[in-house]
Amino acid sequence: MMRSFLMVLCLFPLFLGGCGEEITHDQPLSRENIHAAQGVLGLDFNENERELMQADLDEQREDLYALRLLDLPNEVLPATVLRPWPVGWLPPTDGKPAQWSDPGSRKRPADLNDLAFASIGELGQLLRSGEVTSVELTRLFLKRLQVYGPELECVVSLLKEDALAAARRADLEIGAGRWRGPLHGIPFGVKDLLAVEGTRTTWGATPYRDQRLTPTATVVRRLQESGAVLVAKLSLGALAWGDVWYDGRTRNPWNLQEGSSGSSAGPASAVAAGLVPFAIGSETWGSIVSPSTRCGLTGLRPTFGRVSRAGAMALSWTMDKLGPMAHTAEDCAMVLDAIRGPDDRDPSVIPADFSYVPRADLRGLRIGYLPGPVLDAGASEGSLPEEILEGVLYDAALADLRRLGAELVPLQPLTFDTKPLAIILSVEAAAAFEPLTLSGRDDELVRQTRFAWPNVFRAAHFIPAVAYVQAERARTLLIAEMAERMKTVDLYVGPPFAGDDLLVTNLTGHPSVTLPVGMLDEDSPYSITFTGRLFDEATLVSAADIWQRTTGHHLLHPPRYSRR
């Protein structure tokens, strides 16, 4: 993959102010072409050096054209595999199984729509007690998807017949006492970048809208093996950016005039509106965190290497992660427990325990906190601007953590300048979709702006391979600095978009859970993000869960979808 980016040293259609005619691959490069190219890249080679390298550049260009002739579908992995942890580090292996909270005794409501926002634990208790059946729950959520899906523009494919068949099987098994676990009989949806045999996998983009992929993605297969019932494939921003896809813009259930953010737009919108109890999203750089914040739900981004991405669209082989989006932190933990662990298809995944135990309080935990928005003590509450309200909510969350017994430790921002490392994503995404760019079919994507994939893919072809390697080496230093930070705390909290923390933690592979922290106004939820140690989602999510249960912010739902 890295060799293909040597093209920037020799493959410019150079029209730069009198730099010569457009180059075709069967023409030798001129000295003027090479001189113009080094100007684009900020290099300083003299005339003799350019003359000496000319033959090498011509040969490299031939190799690059040969590479383009190879059949490299999106699912083909690079030979290199990221391990974002320090040398000598080992994952937790205490072997203890996860434990779940007692959901209490809940009776069947007169109107099943009252279960639209119930937790997985509550729904599971109703299923095991026989108060409701999986078929009834599946029909409930299928109907809500049919009624509300079109206005939210969040559904790509409704899988009605397959879902009802799976629900009938679940009811037979539960009735016979063959309970598979907390997800047995629970409906769910998946972001439509996950392959599911027998239906389309569109990636939200016009060139792929009729695409059918096999085999079924590992996460989907594992959820089905746990007894969960797949009811829908949900929208994503085209090729996993934003909330605009080939059939519209996915809407925010709190405010239909706004998008739901992305790229896990459909999962966020559907869960927040009570159309599914949980969904699988993905994150490369904020695609779970951002829509969870916008739509006011809980999203878990697992450690890189925790969950197999086999069968998922590849955007960045060293940054992509799959994770659950649900109503509660413990819901997310239940889903993670079902989907985690290696398979025979994704070499980045390693075995690691997930010994989740519910907490009564936060005593004994050192929780770091990032600087929040600066508060204006002189402003009255009725006149507070949004950034000040964010600070008020953040400070209240810190106070709640203290009351629960946590020792709070202020954290200073990392000294590392992370922004230049963003080229890692640009380069890997451009490689993943090079055939789309070179064929010209990137013009079919809806969004054609500077901050959209078509432009980013094209521009990334001008990033030198040397720069990509240097960025990866710098990433090693960033991983080491984050490892030192995490030695001082068990986890840390911060606003969801504090500084460059979102980019840092996606590059270093750290897990996070984003939860509602209150409302900025009547239709604008806001969130707080808990970030944990590598493969220590058990501590991370249990801490988030007890804070969430205590504060109750997750019990607020969009009025349009929560009333009968």
Alpha-helical regions (H) of 276-385: 289-295, 329-339
Helix H or strand E encompassing 515: strand 512-521
Q: Which two tokens stand for residue 490?
A: 């068990």
Burial class of residue 107 (count of CB atoms within 10 Å of its CB; 0-12, 13-18, 19+): exposed
Residue in 13, 40, 16 with CA at minimum distance from that of residue 29: 13
| Residues 48/35, Cβ–Cβ less than 8 Å | no
Using CA atoms of 225, 231, 233, 234 in order, give the dihedral in degrees to the nearest 10.
-120
∠ CA 241-243-246 to the nearest 5 degrees? 90
Using CA atoms of 34, 36, 42, 44 in order, give the dihedral in degrees to the nearest 10.
60
Beta bridge partners of 307: 340, 341
| Residues 295/252, Cβ–Cβ less than 8 Å | yes
Would you call 191 a catalytic residue per the annotation? yes
Catalytic residue among 134, 260, 263, 348: 263
| C-alpha to C-alpha distance for 147 and 150, rounded to whole angstroms | 7
Catalytic residue among 157, 260, 261, 287: 287
| C-alpha to C-alpha distance for 312 and 346, rounded to whole angstroms | 10
Residue in 500, 478, 497, 490 with CA at minimum distance from that of residue 531: 490
Would you call 380 a catalytic residue per the annotation? no
Would you call 263 a catalytic residue per the annotation? yes
Catalytic residue among 191, 269, 292, 308: 191
The residues that are catalytic are 191, 263, 287
